[in-house]
Chain A
Amino acid sequence: MTPELGQLALILALFLALAQSVLPLIGAWRGNRALMAVARPAATGQAVFVALAFAILVTAFLRFDFSVQYVADNSNLQLPWYYRIAAVWGAHEGSMLLWVLILNVWTVALTLFSRRMPDAFLARVLAVLGIISTGFLCFILFTSNPFARLLPMPPDGADLNPVLQDPGMTFHPPVLYMGYVGFSVAFAFSIAALLGGSMEQAWVRWARPWTNAAWGFLSCGIVAGSWWAYAELGWGGWWFWDPVENASFMPWLVGVALIHAQAVTEKRGSLRAWTILLSLFAFSLSLLGTFLVRSGILTSVHAFASDPRRGTFILCFLAVVVGGSLLLYALRAPKVAGGKAFALVSRESAILIGNLMFTVAAAMVMLGTLFPLLGDALNLGKISVGPPYFGLLFPLLMLPVVLLLPFGPYLRWGNSEAPVLKQVLVRAGISAIACAVIAAFLVQGQLKAIAGVASAVWVGVGVVLYILKRWREMPSGRRYPAEMAGMLLAHFGVAVFLIGVLLSESLSVTRDVRLSPGQVATIGGYEFRFDGVTQATGPNWTAQQGVVTVTRNGSPVAVMHPQKRTYTREQVQTTSAIDPGITRDIYVALGEPMDPTHIEGAWALRLYTKPFVRWIWGGGLFMMLGGFVSAADRRFRVKRDVEVASTVTVKLQESQA
């Protein structure tokens, strides 16, 4: 009976979402306060019912209710409870439910933190979010019902894909969706601004913390996904330019552009139309990502079952939401370039160049991702572009960004003088060159590694110089407002990331070896001794577990246990052993026995040393932190006095009337 209650809750949520989309819009148009006031309670009610449905699905998993098709397909009696919860979003239906739940979390957060906004504006924002929610609830109810029954009930279920049985996978999707879906807020603000025709700068200030927070979540989600791929897929890579990864990376790139464009529009009033367009793009790309992943039109390592009905539904939804919003933009976007003028050397110019690079990069990623489809459409056959395409174009596009980055904080709005920039150029430039020369000796002239050190020092020193300058020149307490601290953190993250990517890519060593017990292989200055294979068991798997003892110049470093797991439903999954470190990771994956009948004999092993690989995710986490910290700036928060003043006026008017 309970699963049907979940479905009922979703239906009720759909009706509330409809009310939330239609009534406040009419209210804002007609100036009817009663209709506008529907938005808040409808949004809260919708969130309650969606949360209820989600809780019912979680309960079904925890109680092994295999009469629910989705539960039976994605869990079984041996699956531990934490993976049974993660299994809720382990496949299509449940992850769409999570999508809607998170949209509701953002909406409710907005209703809580937006009490100072004009009623009509908030009504429009909530209505737009309601429309998006309506679309996704319909999608779930009509094409992907997670509560569908399976009768007769099987005694035991299938299994959650073993690839997903990893700690990283338990929180990667929720965090990623927080980012994806979070851009819906900036989107809704832009649509509300277009609808209302009010182009004052105020709405951009309201939108900024939401954009920054969403972008922080998206950064975190991408880092978690990359870490998961590295740890779980067993070939030591951290990014594959896979369609599903690209789907999350495109909104991230546009998000970077958007964050900066919003700053320009809020502070200087310029680039208004561009800011609106970018916020439309950021969320449209989130939707496009959902479409690409869910419709199955592109094959990927994250292959989900494809169903043409689902693809068609999302495409129609995309046409309404994205097409509609771009049409609205064409009709209502500010016609005259507003704001204050700026000179060639100014912060605006630098941000514009950065914006251009990030937008083009997103377009480049989109072209590469959709290339196989273009190939089919133009009858060129099965073609796809892979790492060579992305690996060439992406660094090229990011090069100007890295070169300009240290100057960013020094540049002034409007018009900037050259001397201070020259100082940065000299100091950061000399540090970068000096470090590059030292690095050249250490890495035996590997160009990529030298470029990594030079670029990271260039960016890092630029950021640190600015931190010192603020420290000297500003009175304490006003040195680092949250907005600026966030910017500095995120920019510093770029330096950390550059070290990680370029050093790990150039200095990693990989060897496929065949080792008998007791034999030793030496790579990257470490000796790996293979000590044979033993049996290991987990809650729902048994494994052949290799024992590899790693030493450096004879002194012990780590004992590693790479596994080849066999799960309850006979799926085999390799689990690599990783010995993490700040300057290097050691990574061992167990291959096949040379002779399957003699597992005590020689085995194929894959050994890696990966210098500085951890800095990749470290850099991403700095960027995430930057997003969150700047979102918390007091300047974005309530202006109590204004609010109090306006309520007082209203009360006065009421008492007079």
Chain B
Amino acid sequence: MSRLLPFFAFVLLAALLGFGIWWNSAHDPTAVPSPLINKPAPAFALPMLDEPAKTVSKDSMLGKPYLVNVFASWCVACGEEHPVLMAESKNFGVPVIGYDYKDDPNDAKAWLAQHGNPYDMVIADINGHTAIDFGVYGAPETFLIDGKGVIRYKRIGPLTPEVIAQQLKPAIEKLQKEAP
């Protein structure tokens, strides 16, 4: 019987490794659970990219849900994400705010002009100070904020059609059901 012990130990180990594979395909292994989920979004007031005189603030956006998509003209992964946003952004049913992160406004404008603008409006965080409050690791990142200004969903890394279909759209639908 004791001769079988190594075998049983291995069975347990294999089960754990199998679980690891399953867990990783179901979850993003690099996802650190964001402490911001279900917490109020930080207060922000940032100028619009096109009209720096006008600012958009958290208070001005209260009332209905919206998406914030962090991007930058220098960000390679944003270039990968961009065509996906171009195709999908009108289908979300909520406004999409482009959050231009640590970028020269002229570069950002040129980038949007060249690749197309999927956003309903674009705000510019030139020095990246507000992004610290949002806990932005890097671009691209996407936040779903509800009508009360609470962060409900966060994606680190590019949105892909799979992520949109499996995570983002269900999260938006859930919000829309909650709202009367």
Residues of A near any B CB (own CB < 8 A): 273, 277, 280-281, 284, 288, 291, 295-299, 306, 308, 311-312, 315, 318-319, 322-323, 326-327, 329-331, 333, 370, 373-374, 376-377, 381-382
| Interface residues contributed by chain B, number (CB under 8 Å) | 21
- Binding site of B, secondary structure by majority: helix, strand, loop or mixed? helix
Q: A306-B24, A376-B23 are in contact. Are A291 and B6 (CB under 8 A)?
A: no
Contact of B21 among A297, A299, A382 (CB under 8 A): A297
CB pair A377–B18 under 8 Å, yes or no, is: no
Q: Are A330 and B24 in contact, with the CB atoms below 8 A?
A: no
21 pairs from A and B in contact (CB 8 Å cutoff):
A273-B3, A295-B17, A296-B29, A308-B25, A311-B24, A315-B14, A319-B14, A322-B10, A322-B14, A326-B7, A326-B10, A329-B7, A330-B7, A331-B3, A370-B16, A373-B19, A373-B23, A376-B19, A376-B23, A377-B16, A382-B32
CA distance A273 to B6 in the complex (A): 12
Q: How far is the CA of A312 from the CA of B95 in the complex (A)?
A: 41
A297 touches B29 (CB 8 A): yes
Q: Is A327's CB under 8 angstroms from B29's CB?
A: no
Complex formed: what's the CA distance from A311 to B14 in Å?
Answer: 12
- B1-34 residues at the A interface, CB under 8 angstroms: 3-4, 6-7, 10-11, 13-14, 16-21, 23-25, 29-30, 32-33
Contact across chains for A296 and B24 when beta carbons are under 8 A apart = yes
Given A297-B23, A299-B30, A373-B23, 11 more contacts at CB 8 Å?
Answer: A273-B3, A281-B6, A295-B17, A311-B20, A311-B21, A318-B14, A326-B10, A330-B4, A373-B17, A376-B19, A377-B16
Distance in Å: Cβ of B175 to nearest Cβ of chain A: 26
- CA A374 to CA B23, docked complex, whole Å: 11
Pick the residue among A281, A319, A322, A373 that contacts B20 (CB under 8 A): A373
Known: A291-B17, A308-B24. Contact between A330 and B29, CB under 8 A? no
Q: How far is the CB of B99 from chain A (nearest CB, A)?
A: 23
Shortest 8 CB-CB contacts between residues of A and residues of B: A297-B20, A326-B7, A308-B25, A330-B3, A311-B21, A330-B4, A373-B20, A326-B6
Would you call A315 and B6 a contact (CB within 8 A)? no
The residue in chain A whose Cβ has the minimal distance to the Cβ of B26 is A308
Alpha-carbon distance between A329 and B7 when the two chains are bound, in angstroms: 9
Q: Which residues of B contact A281 (CB under 8 A)?
A: 6
Report chain A residues within 8 Å CB of B21. 295, 297, 308, 311-312, 315
| B3, B14, B30: the one within 8 Å of A323 (CB) | B14
Given the complex of chains A and B, what is the CA–CA distance between A284 and B33 in angstroms?
34
Q: Which residues of B contact A312 (CB under 8 A)?
A: 21
Give the docked Cα–Cα distance between A374 and B12 (Å).
11
Q: Which residues of B have CB within 8 Å of A311?
A: 20-21, 24
State which residues 39-58 of B face A: CB under 8 Å. Answer: none
Q: Which of B10, B14, B24, B32 contacts A297 (CB 8 A)?
A: B24
Cα separation A281 to B9 with both chains bound (whole Å): 12
Contact present for A299 and B3 (CB under 8 Å): no
How far, in whole Å, are A327 and B13 apart by their CA atoms in the complex? Answer: 15
Residue of A nearest to B31 (CB): A382
Q: Give the residues in chain B near A326, CB-CB below 8 Å.
A: 6-7, 10
Q: Does B3 lie within 8 Å of A374, measured CB to CB?
A: no
Q: In whole angstroms, how far apart are the Cα atoms of A327 and B10 in the complex?
A: 10
The one of A333, A373, A376, A381 in contact with B3, judged by C-beta atoms closer than 8 angstroms, is A333
Q: How far is the CB of B124 from chain A (nearest CB, A)?
A: 20
Most buried by B among A273, A297, A299, A370: A297
A284 / chain B contacts, CB cutoff of 8 Å = 10
User: Which chain B residue has the least Cβ–Cβ distance from A292?
Assistant: B17
Q: How far is the CA of A311 from the CA of B23 in the complex (A)?
A: 12
Contacts of B14 in A (CB 8 A): 315, 318-319, 322-323
Q: Give the distance in Å from the alpha carbon of A326 to the alpha carbon of B4 in the complex.
A: 8
Structural contact, A323 and B10, CB atoms closer than 8 A: yes
Q: How far is the CB of A438 from chain B (nearest CB, A)?
A: 48
Closest Cβ of chain A to B61, distance in Å, is: 31
Chain B residues near A297 (CB-CB < 8 A): 17, 20-21, 23-24, 29
Q: Which residue of B lies closest to A303 (CB)?
A: B30
Is A277 within 8 A of B6, CB to CB?
A: yes
Residues of B98-114 at the interface with A, using a CB-CB cut-off of 8 Å, are none
Could you say which residues of chain B place their CB within 8 Å of the CB of A329? Answer: 3, 6-7
**A299 to B23 CA separation, bound complex (whole angstroms):** 13
Give the nearest-CB partner of B19 in chain A: A377
Chain B residue numbers with a CB within 8 Å of A318 are: 14, 17
- Say yes or no: A382 contacts B7, CB within 8 Å: no
Give chain B residues whose Cβ lies under 8 Å from the Cβ of A273: 3
In the bound complex, residues from chain B placing their C-beta under 8 Å from that of A374 are: 16
Chain A residue contacts of B18, Cβ below 8 A? 315
Q: How far is the CA of A322 from the CA of B29 in the complex (A)?
A: 27
Q: Give, as a whole number of angstroms, the nearest-CB distance from B4 to chain A.
A: 4
Chain A proximity of B104: nearest CB distance (Å): 14
Query: What residues on A are CB-neighbors of B3 within 8 Å?
Result: 273, 329-331, 333
Nearest-neighbour CB distance to chain A for B66, whole angstroms, equals: 29
Contact across chains for B16 and A323 when beta carbons are under 8 A apart? no
> Hey, which chain A residues are within 8 Å of B10, CB to CB?
284, 322-323, 326
State the Cβ distance, B73 to closest chain A Cβ, in Å: 14
Cβ of B13: which chain A residues have Cβ within 8 Å of it?
288, 370
Q: Which of A295, A311, A333 has most B Cβ within 10 Å?
A: A311
Could you tell me the distance in whole angstroms from the C-beta of B18 to the nearest C-beta in chain A? Answer: 6
Task: Compute how far the CA of A370 lies from the CA of B24 in the bound complex, rounded to whole angstroms.
Answer: 14
- Asked if A323 contacts B11 (CB within 8 A), the reply is yes
Q: Determine if A315 and B17 form an interchain contact, defined as CB atoms under 8 angstroms apart.
A: yes
CA distance A333 to B6 in the complex (A): 12
Most central of A308, A326, A373 by chain B CB within 10 Å: A326
Q: How far is the CA of A298 from the CA of B24 in the complex (A)?
A: 9
Q: Known contacts A370-B16, A377-B16, A382-B32: does B23 contact A327 (CB below 8 Å)? A: no
Q: A420 → chain B, closest Cβ, in Å?
A: 37
CA distance A190 to B19 in the complex (A): 30
Whether A323 lies near B7 (C-beta < 8 A) is: yes
Of chain A, the residue at the smallest CB distance from B32 is: A382
Knowing A296-B29, A318-B14 are in contact, say whether A376-B20 is a contact too (CB < 8 A). Answer: yes
CA distance A312 to B11 in the complex (A): 15
The minimal Cβ–Cβ distance linking A555 to chain B, given in whole angstroms, is 47
Q: Output the least CB separation between A513 and chain B (Å).
A: 26
Chain B residues positioned under 8 Å from A323 (CB to CB): 7, 10-11, 14
* Cα–Cα, bound, A8→B110 (Å): 49
Nearest CB in chain B: distance from A243 CB, A? 12
Note all chain A residues with C-beta closer than 8 A to B23: 297, 373, 376-377
Contact B33 A382 (CB under 8 A): yes
Contacts A277-B6, A326-B6 known; A306 to B16 CB distance under 8 Å? no
Residues of B within 8 A of A381 (CB): 33
Q: Tell me, rounded to whole Å, the shortest Cβ–Cβ distance linking B8 to chain A.
A: 9
